[in-house]
Chain A
Amino acid sequence: MVKKTHPSNKEIEKIIARADEHEQNYKRVLADYQNQDRRFKETQTQIVKFANAVLLEKILLNLDSLELAQKHLKDAGLEIVIKQLFETLKTEGLQLIESDGKIFDPLTMDCIEVVAGKKDHVVSTLTKGYFLFDKVLRPAKVKVGSGEK
C-alpha cells in the first residue's frame, strides 16, 4: 500500500498562484491577438486603398517635370497630355490640393519661402500638392506672403 500524500497548504497556494499567472498570461496573449486581428483588418483595407501611394508619388515627380516643361514650351499638345495624365491619376483617387491664393495651412502645405504679398496667404505654388482619397499624399510646396507689399 502506498500512503497517499496530501499537498501542503503552501503548495496549494503556490499552485493556485501559478494557475492565476497562467490565466493572466493567456488573457494577455489573447488580447494581443485580438487587437492584432482588428488592426490587421484595418490595415488590410488601408493597404488596398493606398497600395498605389508609392507609385503615385513617383509618377507625380514626372507630372511635375511635364508641368515645368509646359511652363516653358506652352505647347497645346503637351497641355492635353498633362491633362490626360492627371485625369487618369484622378480615377485612382488622386486629388489636387488647392493652394494658390488660399490661407496657408500646414496640414496640406509646406512653406518653402516667405515673399512680399498678402500676409499668410499663398502667393504662388512651387510644386502642387495632392490628396490620395482623404489623406495628404504630398503637401503643396508654396511661397507665402509676409504682409509687405
Chain B
Amino acid sequence: MSKIIGIDLGTTNSAIAVMEAGKAKIIPTAEGKNTFPSIVEPIKNLVGDVAKRQMVLNSENTIFSVKRLMGQKFSGKQAQKTKEIAPYDIEAGKDGLAIIKIGGKTYTPQEISAKILQKAKADAEAYLGGTVTDAVITVPAYFDDSQRQATKQAGEIAGLNVQRIVNEPTAAALAYGLDKGKNETVVVYDLGGGTFDVSILELGDGVFEVKSTNGDTFLGGDDFDHKIIEYIVSEFKKENGVDLSLDKQALQRIKDAAEKAKIELSSATETEINQPFITQRDGNPLHLTLKITRAKLEELVDDLIQKTIEPCKKALADAKIEKKQIAEIILVGGMTRMPKVQQVVKDFFGKEPNKSVNPDEAVALGAAIQGGVISGDVKDVLLLDVTPLTLGIETMGSVMTPLIERNTTVPSSKSQVFSTASDNQPQVEIHILQGERPMAADNKTLGSFILDGIPAAPRGIPQIEVTFDIDANGILNVSAKDKATGKEQKITIKNATNLSDEEVERMKQEAEKYAEDDKKKKELVDKKNEADTLIIQTRKVLKDSGDKFDSTAKEEIEKSLSELEEELKKPDTTLESVDAKLKAATELVQKHAEALYKAAGEKDKKEENKSEDEKPEDGKSDTKTAEEGEVVE
C-alpha cells in the first residue's frame, strides 16, 4: 500500500506531510519551503508562490481564499463577503452555488482547490520518489456536509483518493500527541494567516468529539502586518512629511520590512527597520530608520488579539464547559508564535498553552498521522524508546565516560576498549553509571562488577572490551572482556530507561546547573591524569635507558617529576598550579629527550643513515598514551 499523505488545505497557506519511520514529517515544496500560498492562476496553471508573484499583474485571474467559497451558496453571507474583497468574479452557478468566472470560463471552487491539491500531490511524489494516490485532507470543524463534500470532490479531481476528511483541530490534537490515553477536554486555538478558529474537543478512547467551535473568518496574520505598515507610514510622515503609502515601490519595501519585524519581535524585544533611500524630497534622498519595540507592536495589535477572546468565551459557553475543566490548550497557526498572543491565551484560560509543535505544521502533521493510522503505519510500527539519560562507566580519576549517549534510540549497542591504570593491575572494576554529569560520583550508579585475572602487564597494555547492549525493553547488558585471555564478566540491569519523568528532568537540570563547576572539576582531573601519565612514562624511560642520560639531566628530571607529584598530592591543588608544574616538567623532559635523539641521530648517521622512520619514540613525553578510560585500540 502506498503512503497516505496528509494535506492541510488552508485558506492562505497549505502544507503537506507524511509518516516516515513512525513519525509525521513535513514534505518540503518544490520551492524548498514547508508551506505554500493557497493561490491559483487557472489559465496558465500556476499554483503557490509562482501564482502569488503574478497576482498584481493578473489580479482578476488569480484566485486566493478559494476555501471561503467551498460548498457555499452565492447568496450566502460568506460568498458575498468574499466577493467584496476578491478581485476575481464570483457568480451563482448550479444549485445557486458560488462559482468563479475567469476569462469567460467558469470554475467551481472544487476545481480551483484541486489545483492546490495537485501541487501537493506532485511535490509529495517528487519527495517520496513514487506515485501518491491516497490522502487525508483537513477542513475546519465548522464545515458542513456540503463543504466537506466539496473538499472531497476537490481531492478526486486532483486524482487523489480521499481516505478521510479530518477536522483541523482534531489533526492538530493528533500532532500534539493528545490521542493517547486519558479522557480530557482540549482547546485548540488556531490563529492563521487569514482566519481565527477556536475549538473545544473532547477526547476519549482515541475518539475526538468536537464540542463547539467559534472564530472570526476574517482575522489573521495579514491584519497584524497591516497595523505595522500603517504605523511605519505614519511615523515616517510625521518625521519627513512624505506619505509613503502613495509610493508603491516604497510600500512594497515597507511590507517586507514589517513582516520581518513582526517575526523578529517574537524572539527579540526590539528591532530596527532600516530602509535607506526609501524615497526623495526635493531631490534629496530620505532614509527610513525606525526602532520598534515589542511593547509598541503589542500596543498596535492589541485590539486584534483581544478580538479572539470573545469567540473563546462563546465556544466555552456552547460546549457548556468551565475553564477549569480544560486539560490542555494547544496553539496552531503562525501568529501564535507571538508572545503576546500566548500571554492573552494564558490569561484567559488560566493555563500555560502547549506550544511544543510547530504551529504552521501541526495540522498537516496531524493529517499525516491520521493517514498513518488508516494505512496501518502507526498502529504497527513499534514506537521505539530512547534512553533518557547517558549510560557510561567510571574511568581513571573518577570520570564518567559515556558509552550510550542520551536520546539514543534503543535497541542499541556499543563497545569500547579500555585499559588498566597501573602496572600489573590484576583486575578492573566496571562501575556502570547513568546521568549527564562528567564526574562519576554525581551520577546514578546502576551496578558494578569486577573483571579479574588480567595477566600482569604494564599499564595501558591490557585491552578490556566493554560492551553496552540495551534492548527495546530497556534492559541493559554490560559485559567486559579481556581480549588477551578471553575472560568475560557481565551484568544485566533491568529498567535502565525506566525513570520517572521527574527523575529525568531533575538529573538534566542538575547537569545544567552544575555545568560550569563540573567542567572545572573534569579539567582538573584530566590535567592530573596527564601529569600522572608523564610521571610514570618518564620514570619508565629513565629506568630502561637511564644510562643514555647524563647524571645532571637525570637529577633535574627526577626533581621536576617529584615536584609535580607533590603538587598532585596537595588537597587544594588547582588546574593552574598543576598545569604550571606539568609544563615545566614536560619542557625539561623534551629538552633532554631532544639531546638524546640528536646524539642517537648522529650515531645513526654514522651507521650508514639507517631507515629514518625507525627512530626511537619512547623518549618523548607522549602524554596521550594509555590513560585508563581512553580507547587504546
Which residues on A are within 8 Å of B, measured CB to CB? Answer: 21, 24-25, 28-29, 32-33, 35-36, 38-39, 65, 68-69, 71-72, 104, 106-107, 109-114, 120, 126, 135, 139, 141, 143-144
| CB atoms of B57 and A114 under 8 A apart | yes
Interfacial chain A residues near B248, Cβ < 8 Å: 112-113
- Chain A nearest CB, measured from B21 CB (Å): 4
Known: A28-B381, A113-B56, A141-B252. A106 touches B21 (CB 8 A): no
Other contacts beyond A69-B276, A113-B252: 18, CB < 8 A: A25-B382, A28-B377, A35-B20, A36-B20, A38-B129, A71-B277, A72-B277, A72-B280, A72-B285, A104-B57, A106-B54, A107-B50, A110-B52, A110-B53, A111-B54, A113-B248, A126-B249, A144-B57
Q: Is the Cβ of B129 less than 8 Å from the Cβ of A35?
A: yes
Residues of chain A lying within 8 A (CB to CB) of residue B285: 72
Report whether A68 and B249 are in contact in the complex, using a CB–CB cutoff of 8 Å.
no
From residue B111, how far is it (CB to closest CB) to chain A in Å? 21
CA distance A144 to B276 in the complex (A): 24
CB of B493 closer than 8 Å to a CB of A: no
Residue of B nearest to A66 (CB): B276
Cβ–Cβ < 8 Å partners of B32 in chain A: 135
Give min CB distance, B39 to chain A, whole Å: 11
Bound CA span A144–B32, Å: 27
A111 vs B53: C-alpha distance in the bound complex, in angstroms? Answer: 6
**Cβ–Cβ < 8 Å partners of B380 in chain A:** 21, 24-25, 28
A65 CB to closest chain B CB, in angstroms?
Answer: 5
Q: How far is the CA of A36 from the CA of B381 in the complex (A)?
A: 16
**8 Å CB interface, B230-249 against A:** 248-249
Secondary structure of the B contact surface, majority rule: mixed
In the assembled complex, the Cα of A126 lies from the Cα of B252 at a distance in Å of: 10
B46 interface residue per 8 A CB criterion:
yes
Contact mask B44-77 → A, CB, 8 Å, 1/0? 0010001111111110000000000000000000
Complex: how many Å from CA A21 to CA B376?
Answer: 11
Alpha-carbon gap, A111 to B252, bound state (A): 11
Q: Which of A38, A69, A113, A135 has the most CB of B within 10 A?
A: A113
Contacts of A107 in B (CB 8 A): 50
Contacts of A21 in B (CB 8 A): 380
Q: How far is the CB of A112 from chain B (nearest CB, A)?
A: 5
Which 9 A-B pairs have CB atoms at the shortest separation, nearest pair first?
A: A68-B277, A106-B54, A110-B53, A111-B57, A32-B21, A106-B53, A113-B248, A111-B56, A106-B50
Chain B residues whose C-beta falls within 8 Å of the C-beta of A110 in the assembled complex: 52-53
Specify the chain A residue showing the minimal Cβ separation from B277: A68
Q: How far is the CA of A34 from the CA of B32 in the complex (A)?
A: 22
| Chain B residues with CB below 8 A from A35, complex form | 20, 128-129
A141 CA to B251 CA, complexed, in Å:
13
B381 close to A106 (CB less than 8 A): no
A111 to B55, Cβ gap below 8 A?
Answer: yes
Q: Would you give the shortest CB distance from A66 to chain B, in whole angstroms?
A: 9
Assess whether B276 is in contact with A68, with CB atoms less than 8 Å apart. Answer: yes
8 residue pairs of the A-B complex, CB under 8 angstroms, read A28-B380, A35-B128, A35-B129, A106-B51, A107-B50, A109-B53, A112-B249, A113-B248
Whether the Cβ atoms of A29 and B46 lie closer than 8 Å is no
Which residues does chain A contribute within 8 Å of B57, judged by CB atoms? 104, 111, 114, 120, 144
A114 x B277 contact (CB < 8 A): no
Provide the bound-state CA to CA distance between A135 and B49, in Å.
14
CB proximity to A under 8 Å, residues B368-401: 377, 380-382
Which B residues are in CB contact (< 8 Å) with A126?
A: 249, 252
Which residues of the other chain, B, contact A39 by a CB distance below 8 angstroms?
127
Q: Are B381 and A25 in contact (CB under 8 A)?
A: yes
Least distance between B405 CB and chain A CB atoms (Å): 20
Question: Nearest Cβ distance between residue A49 and chain B, in whole angstroms?
Answer: 12
**Residues in chain A near residue B20, CB distance under 8 A:** 32, 35-36
Report the Cα distance A109→B56, complex, angstroms: 12
Measured between beta carbons, the chain B residues less than 8 angstroms from A29 are 21, 381
**B249 to chain A: which residues have CB within 8 Å?**
112-113, 126, 143
Look across to chain B and name the residue whose beta carbon is closest to the beta carbon of A124. B249
Q: What 0/1 readout, one digit per residue, does chain B (116-131) give for beta carbons within 8 Å of chain A?
A: 0000000000011100
- Interface residue ranges of B391-438 to A (CB < 8 Å): none
The answer to whether A65 and B129 have CB atoms under 8 Å apart is: no
CA distance A104 to B55 in the complex (A): 12
In the assembled complex, the Cα of A36 lies from the Cα of B280 at a distance in Å of 54
What's the Cα separation between A28 and B1 when bound, in Å? 10
Q: Which residue of A24, A33, A106, A107 has the most chain B CB atoms within 10 A of its CB atom?
A: A106
Minimum distance in angstroms from A14 CB to a CB of chain B? 16
- Known A-B contacts A25-B382, A141-B252; the reply to A36 vs B276 at CB < 8 A is no
Contacts of B277 in A (CB 8 A): 65, 68-69, 71-72
Interface of chain B residues 92 through 136 with chain A (CB within 8 A): 127-129
- Kindly report which residue of chain B lies nearest to residue A65, judged by CB atoms: B276
**Residues of B close to A25: CB separation below 8 A:** 380-382
B52 cross-chain contacts in A, Cβ below 8 A: 110
User: B377: which A residues are within 8 A, CB to CB?
Assistant: 28
User: How near does chain B come to A73, taking the closest CB pair, in angstroms?
Assistant: 9
B53, B127, B252, B276: the one contacting A139 at CB < 8 Å is B53
- List the A side residues contacting B51 at CB < 8 Å: 106
Q: How far does the Cβ of A117 sit from chain B's closest Cβ, in whole Å?
A: 12
**Cα distance A33–B409 in the bound complex, in angstroms:** 14
| Alpha-carbon distance A110/B48, docked complex (angstroms) | 13
Q: How far is the CB of A70 from chain B (nearest CB, A)?
A: 10
Residues of B within 8 A of A143 (CB): 249
Considering only CB atoms, which chain A residue lies closest to B280 in the complex? A72
| Nearest CB of A to B632, in Å | 33
| Distance in angstroms between the alpha carbons of A11 and B56 in the assembled complex | 69
In the complex the two chains form, what is the Cα distance from A106 to B48 in whole Å? Answer: 11
- Residues 22-56 of B contacting A (Cβ, < 8 Å): 32, 46, 50-56
Chain B nearest CB, measured from A72 CB (Å): 5
Chain B nearest CB, measured from A102 CB (Å):
14
CB neighbours (8 Å) of B127 from chain A are 39
Q: How far is the CA of A29 from the CA of B377 in the complex (A)?
A: 10
Alpha-carbon separation in the docked complex, A139 to B129 (Å): 28
Q: Please report the C-alpha to C-alpha distance between residue A121 and residue B102 in the assembled complex, in whole angstroms.
A: 22
Distance between Cα atoms of A141 and B55 in the complex (Å): 13
> Nearest residue in A to B283 (C-beta to C-beta)?
A72
CA of A38 to CA of B126, assembled, Å: 13
CA distance A45 to B338 in the complex (A): 35
Who on chain A is nearest to B55 by CB?
A111
A28 to chain B: which residues have CB within 8 Å?
A: 377, 380-381
Q: Taking each of B20, B54, B58, B127, which has the highest tally of chain A beta carbons within 10 Å of its own beta carbon?
A: B54
